[in-house]
Amino acid sequence: DGGITQSPKYLFRKEGQNVTLSCEQNLNHDAMYWYRQDPGQGLRLIYYSQIVNDFQKGDIAEGYSVSREKKESFPLTVTSAQKNPTAFYLCASTGGFARSPLHFGNGTRLTVT
Amino acid sequence: GENVEQHPSTLSVQEGDSAVIKCTYSDSASNYFPWYKQELGKRPQLIIDIRSNVGEKKDQRIAVTLNKTAKHFSLHITETQPEDSAVYFCAASPGNTGKLIFGQGTTLQVKP
């Protein structure tokens, strides 16, 4: 939707397992972002990438990992080290590095039990 | 790092009334301030944005004002309608990375 596809929409995992969330965009955007959303806490930045093969930690990177091997793809792995992984995860992209709006995917709701 | 505070956390208005949501930011280098609307279970969608060289911007029933000296910006919705009910997020963009720091969100309820 809007050129950014996140899959799956719902994901269920057992505690202790790593899980990878997919994010693909066909907007030819250079920069991509992962946000986590919890009730009452807004959106918090996990990781971002401004160019292929490069990425930076956001405010809450612990327990997560990313890769950016292709411009179109920015998968997020939630590792077993993430203490509270249950959340709504949003991927976004932008065509400009500064003063440009983010375009969001539809999100993946991850539930870990 | 940048911090964005948003108030109020919930806002209830009668249809036709105005709604105002306020945000403050900490990093004086922030130069871009978008507002997003998120309906339940859906992705945030941009409704309006303002850049640091502008003090006010309007788009039909929606307006945003920016006070750089005081480091705060506000969203104004006039003639509210039930379909305006949603969660609204403000955000600020520090530097040139394109990343956005979001406020905590305001749940707006418009009563018919």
Which residue type does A113 have? T
- The distance of A15 to chain B (nearest Cα, Å) reads 24
pLDDT digit string (tens) for B34-44? 999 999 888 99
Among A10, A32, A41, A43, pick the best mutation site for testing chain B contact (most B Cβ within 10 A): A43
Q: Tell me, yes or no, if B46 comes closer than 8 A to chain A by beta carbon.
A: yes
Task: State pLDDT tens for residues A43-65.
Answer: 999 999 999 999 999 999 999 99
Whole-number average pLDDT of chain A? 92
pLDDT band at B98 (very low <50, low <70, confident <90, very high): confident
Cβ pair B32:A97 closer than 8 A: no
What confidence tens digit (pLDDT) does each residue in A18-34 have?
A: 999 999 999 999 999 99
Secondary element (H or E) of residue A12: strand A10-13
Helix (H, G, I), strand (E, B) or coil at B50: strand
Inter-chain residue contact A2 with B43, CB threshold 8 Å:
yes
CA nearest to B77, candidates B91, B90, B60, B101: B60
Reference B15, options B57, B49, B61; nearest CA is B61
For residues A101-108, average pLDDT: 93
Report which of B12, B27, B10 is spatially closest to residue B91, judged by C-alpha positions.
Answer: B27
